[in-house]
Amino acid sequence: MRDIDVSVITDAIEKMCINANRHLPQDMQAGIKACRACEDGQIACTILDQIIDNFQTADKENVPICQDTGMACIFLEVGQEVHFTGGALYDAINEGVRRGYTKGYLRKSVEADPIRRGNTGDNTPAMITVDIVPGDKVKITVAPKGFGSENMSALRMFKPSAGLQGIKDFILETVEKAGPNPCPPIVVGVGIGGNFDHVALAAKKALLRPIDSHNPDPYYAALEDEMLEKINELGIGPQGFGGKTTAVGVNIETLPTHIAGMPCAVNISCHVTRHETEVI
């Protein structure tokens, strides 16, 4: 059994909240640059040049890439041989978010009540997901998620009779309906299977995977490529002004499901698909 003081978790999350909001992951940077090289429309090229200049300036000047610094989504893979000491884990996570968003001068966007509203003032509470895994380490991923794109996401409880075509149509329908709202070029996370709540989480976790990777199952890897091609054929383009680049990546994650169901969730993320991971 390995003891880890929760203050270590707090310190890591504080740092990661700041870094994730300032430095775009390399796979996203490379993906956007590759799309720019393939574009030939003047407006699309100009917008992609501005997007590239924006994330390069943010990286150099240590400032946020986007004014929407997101809701803090925190994913922990906790080894079953880990014993936390020094306080409550969730309190430590939220303290890290609180410090990160305050010290990093990041916008606080969390409302205490969904209907009556009222800003919490420190971007807490975070949306926390904990998985128990073998080992004695803790893997932390911080993924700030803006809501211009989050609001364009969707979930549908299909019956198996909808088949693969039903899934394909739903993905395209969701992206087409989103149009320019999620600030394309986008990343599309897709969850298929599980149940109502787990399929949405699968779609969210799909956004954490590098866009230059594929689902390990060749069947779903081919589906990722097919859907990326079809999404880009929609012609929505950068910021919705038309072009070849509507999405820079489609990541699909699947789960076993019930004989009577085939849930599908589509979680859309903007070109500022932020995440940072650290292993303790």
pLDDT by 10s per residue, the chain, length 280: 999 999 999 999 999 999 999 999 999 999 999 999 999 899 999 999 999 999 999 999 999 999 999 999 999 999 999 999 999 999 999 999 999 999 999 999 999 999 999 999 999 999 999 999 999 999 999 999 999 999 999 999 999 999 999 999 999 999 999 999 999 999 999 999 999 999 999 999 999 999 999 999 999 999 999 999 999 999 999 999 999 999 999 999 999 999 999 999 999 999 999 999 999 9
Q: What is the pLDDT of residue 70?
A: 96
Exposed/middle/buried for residue 50 (C-beta within 10 Å: 0-12, 13-18, 19+): exposed
Residues in the chain: 280
> What pLDDT was estimated at residue 248?
97
- Angle of helix 42-61 relative to helix 26-38, nearest 10 degrees, comes to 160
The three-state secondary structure class of 2 is: strand
**DSSP 8-state symbol, 260:** T
pLDDT in the model for residue 92? 98
pLDDT of residue 202: 98
pLDDT at 192: 98
Q: Give the pair of three-digit tokens for residue 232.
A: 């880009």
Residue with tokens 């992609």: 48
User: What per-residue confidence (pLDDT) applies to 12?
Assistant: 98
- Residue tagged 């996370």 (tokens): 189
Cα–Cα distance, 10 to 47 (Å, whole number): 38
CA distances from residue 213 to 26, 89, 225 in whole angstroms, order as listed: 13, 32, 11
161 vs 260: CA distance, rounded Å: 9
Residue 139 identity: K
* Distances in whole angstroms, Cα of residue 105 to Cα of each of 21, 22, 65, 71, 98: 11, 11, 13, 14, 11
Whole-number pLDDT of residue 9: 98
Radius of gyration of the chain (CA): 19
The CA dihedral of 271, 190, 140, 96, to the nearest 10 degrees, is 60
pLDDT computed for residue 231 by the predictor: 98
Q: Quick one: how far is CA 215 from the chain centroid? A: 16
